[in-house]
Amino acid sequence: MKTIKEINEKIKKGDAVVITAEEMIKIVEEEGAKKAADYVDVVTTGTFGAMCSSGVFINFGHSDPPIKMLKIYLNNVEAYGGLAAVDAYIGAAQPNEDPDVDIDYGGAHVIEDLVRGKEIELYAEGYTTDCYPRKDVNVKITLDDVNQAIMVNPRNCYQTYPAATNGREEKIYTYMGVLLPEYNNVHYSGAGQLNPLQNDYNPIINNYNTIGIGTKIFLGGGEGYIIGEGTQHNPPFGTLMVKGDLKKMNSKFIRAATMPRYGSTLYVGLGVPIPVLNEKIAERCAIKDEDIEVPIYDYGVPRRDKPMIAKTNYAVLRSGKIDLKVEIDGKIVEKTVKTGSVSSYKMAREVAEELKKWILEGKFLLSERVGTLGKPENKPMKSPITLVKDILSKPPITAPCNISIMEAAKILIEYNINHLPIVDDLGRLVGIITSWDIAKALAQNKKTIEEIMTKNVITAHEDEPADHVARKMSINNISGVPVVDDHKRVVGVVTSEDISRLFGGKK
């Protein structure tokens, strides 16, 4: 048994044996966990990925005359001002107020620009009081101009992040990147065998061997601390809440990004030194990618509880391809698809190496935790949900492919509808026509339904949230969608009128 105090003394003398988690795997394989525990003093870990739940508290100092800032914008990105007079919190995922910029430059980009020493524009306004007579302020500032810039990230360093695929017929844009239709790719995130929480996890107690409140860490290229369990902390899917001084960080390890059609995010480099106090810790620090199970979920289902498609591990995911057995059009299909990472293992390795270097040079000592991380708490929100089946117009009014345009027009008039799904002999959707299509057909002298119907039809399913269908209709600029079952048989239609009735009284 060793103690952190003893290890720190060895670090000060330059006698400590410090290795990365990758290197520990080989040592334990060759020498065994007991010898590794005797020989190795510290194992360094690292991760570098998109951590949307990140942000910075900034104190701007008082203006002359003073102002109590309420509405605060940094490079046109709003920061939260419901604090003291000149304190604010800017979140990484906050979009730009300019709709032409929107998610292309958000809170994460402001944070990176500050770390890079760039000048940014501060605009703030508030209400006047006797002690705060100023109404607004508009100045250019750099990180050196502010008193404090304290990064406080509510949720970083996911222990295991589920992988994502997409069972829909169209590609989707998510925080896991662009997912191709019909399960044609799988995206994953996380450092696996380099991840701090993987290397320190104790499954027997469902907690961590050494990591806790007060643990000193590598954060964004500077020193930081764990200040508690992160939000949605639920081991073995643990998370960390961390803090550090933005002024001491390095833009190499703090990088802004925008996920296409999703939003801005901040890539954060985070590493934790694990003191090898005993054989059990040494054994856990040799965990390998193939030992870490990763579930794959269908992000094409817009629900909180997404269906699990398969289970795999980081070794398979990092290989660049994976074999899936999935259901498409009611048939079980086996396919090999590409995998892609939305985090950087290369940068995670650099974090671990940099932390190792700091310790070997005596620049970084380990800290004793003052408390363990809190208990798991990841409950769902109590929120009402309206599904498509709750507002579905049925029975469905449909028509066969061989119907004439005139007959189709009569159906629309008879049933006072604007959308007519066209189906085959088995009731499966092959197209749709609207009253507008009929009008165009008459003007353009079209002869058959097949000439005027839309064949690539946007559809919905009965268990799909009505909110999602409303967004789908808005994005595609359409006023109705056929609702189909798993075999593409039409079971009803949802229109903009149905959606309006549902949301008409809501704010």
**Of how many residues is the chain composed?**
507
Which neighbouring-strand residues pair with 338? 185, 321
CB-based burial label for 238 (10 Å; 0-12, 13-18, 19+): buried
* pTM: predicted TM-score of the whole model, two decimal places: 0.88
Direct distance between the N- and C-terminal alpha carbons of the chain, in angstroms, rounded to an integer: 61
- Spatial distance between the Cα atoms of 431 and 488, rounded to a whole number of angstroms: 11
Looking at residue 300, what DSSP letter applies?
Answer: T
Do 165 and 308 meet the contact criterion of CB atoms below 8 Å apart? no
| Cα angle, residue 267 at apex, residues 211 and 291 outer, rounded to 5° | 50
Residue range(s) occupied by CATH 3.10.580.10 in the chain: 388-503
DSSP H helices, 14-45, are: 21-31, 33-39
Torsion angle of alpha carbons 417, 418, 424, 429, nearest 10°? Answer: -110
Specify whether 131 is catalytic.
Answer: yes
Query: What is the amino acid identity at position 163?
Result: A
- How many Å apart are CA 178 and CA 176, to the nearest integer? 7
Q: List, in sequence order, the alpha helices (H) in 327-484.
A: 345-360, 388-391, 405-414, 435-444, 449-452, 466-476
- Asked whether the CA dihedral 276, 192, 265, 258 is positive or negative, the reply is positive
Q: How many CB atoms lie within 10 A of CB 337?
A: 17
Fold of 388-503: CBS-domain (3.10.580)
Please state the φ and ψ torsions of residue 233, each to the nearest 5 degrees. -60, 125
- Catalytic residue from among 52, 131, 157, 401: 131
Amino acid identity at 428: R
- Tell me the CB-side half-sphere exposure of residue 118, using CA atoms within 13 A: 14
CB 196 within 8 A of CB 21: no
pLDDT by residue for the chain (507 residues), tens only, comes to 899 999 999 999 999 999 999 999 999 999 999 999 999 999 999 999 999 999 999 999 999 999 999 999 999 999 999 999 999 999 999 999 999 999 999 999 999 999 999 999 999 999 999 999 999 999 999 999 999 999 999 999 999 999 999 999 899 999 999 999 999 999 999 999 999 999 999 999 999 999 999 999 999 999 999 999 999 999 999 999 999 999 999 999 999 999 999 999 999 999 999 999 999 999 999 999 999 999 999 999 988 899 999 999 999 999 999 999 998 877 899 999 999 999 999 999 999 999 999 999 999 999 999 999 998 877 888 888 889 998 886 688 999 988 888 899 999 999 998 899 999 988 899 999 998 888 888 888 887 888 889 988 999 999 999 888 988 888 888 988 999 998 889 999 998 888 887 766 554
Q: DSSP letter at 104?
A: G
What is the DSSP annotation of 29-83?
HHH-HHHHHHH--EEE--EEEE--S-EEEEE----SS-B---EEEETTEEEB--S
CA distance 125 to 110: 19
| H helix or E strand, kind and range, residue 153 | strand 148-156
